[in-house]
């Protein structure tokens, strides 16, 4: 009985030590386009909103979870988001958000090995704004949820589309006729190259 217990313990320890050796860690570069749109809440007056186009770029890492089709990826991205609002009389103003975007996604991949495949991804997103604004009170930090999908090609290239759903307010707006707030919802199209 002792021999069986020792053998089972030895195999469990060996498996735990071997698993990180099978984990595949890749580093790369990710960039793309942000298409942001504001969701207004309790904004006084006749405000109209337009889409805002920005970009993002930065390093990323992806680690495969051994013996599963799952992986986790994270990135440190310089990102530009924003919102353009107007008063319905031709006057428009754009509020930019330049900051650090940190998405962390769990990916489920399936396909033809490293040559081609598709993936589904979801996870939290953290955005930290670099700049203050006098016109609106932007939040220094925002939290959201990412959902997306993409294609993996030739073991190094990933092309994806992602939607960021904000869980917190982007900014408070204090006007002459009252106060309100908005959230920035963002579509992303990305291209990543893993080394």
pLDDT at residue 107 in the model: 97
pLDDT the model gives residue 174: 67
Residue ranges of the chain with pLDDT lower than 50? 1-2, 4-9, 11-19
The secondary structure of the chain as a DSSP string is: -HHHHHHHHHHHHHHHHHHHHH--EEEEEEEEEEEEEEEEES--S--EEE-EEEEEEEEEEEEEPTTSSEEEEEE-EEEEEEEEEE-SSS-EEEEEEEEEEEEEEEEEEEEETTTEEEEEEEEEEEEEE----SSEEE-SEEEEEEEEEEEEETTTEEEEEEEEEESS-SEEEEETTEEEEEEEEEEEEEEEEE-
Go through the domains of the chain in sequence order and give each one's CATH number.
24-194 (2.40.160.20)
Q: What are 130-185's pLDDT values in tens digits?
A: 977 666 778 889 999 999 999 999 989 999 999 999 998 888 776 655 577 788 89
- Predicted pLDDT of residue 13: 46
Residue 43's pLDDT is: 59
């Amino acid at each position: 009985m002792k021999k069986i217990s020792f053998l089972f313990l030895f195999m469990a320890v060996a498996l735990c030590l071997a698993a990180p050796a099978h984990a595949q860690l890749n580093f790369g570069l990710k960039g793309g386009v942000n298409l942001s749109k504001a969701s207004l809440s309790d904004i006084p007056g006749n405000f109209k909103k337009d889409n805002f186009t920005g970009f993002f770029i930065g390093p990323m890492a992806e680690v495969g979870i051994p013996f599963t089709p799952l992986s986790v990826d994270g990135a440190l991205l310089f990102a530009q988001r924003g919102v353009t609002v107007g008063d319905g009389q031709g006057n428009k103003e754009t509020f930019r958000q330049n900051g650090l975007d940190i998405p962390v996604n769990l990916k489920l991949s399936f396909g033809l090995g490293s040559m081609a495949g598709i993936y589904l991804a979801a996870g939290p997103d953290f955005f930290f704004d670099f700049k203050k604004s006098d016109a609106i009170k932007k939040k220094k930090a925002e939290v959201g949820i990412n959902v997306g999908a993409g294609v993996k090609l030739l073991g190094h290239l990933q092309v994806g589309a992602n939607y960021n759903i904000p869980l917190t307010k982007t900014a408070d707006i204090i006007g002459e006729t009252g106060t309100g707030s908005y959230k920035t919802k963002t579509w992303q199209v990305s291209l990543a190259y893993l080394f």
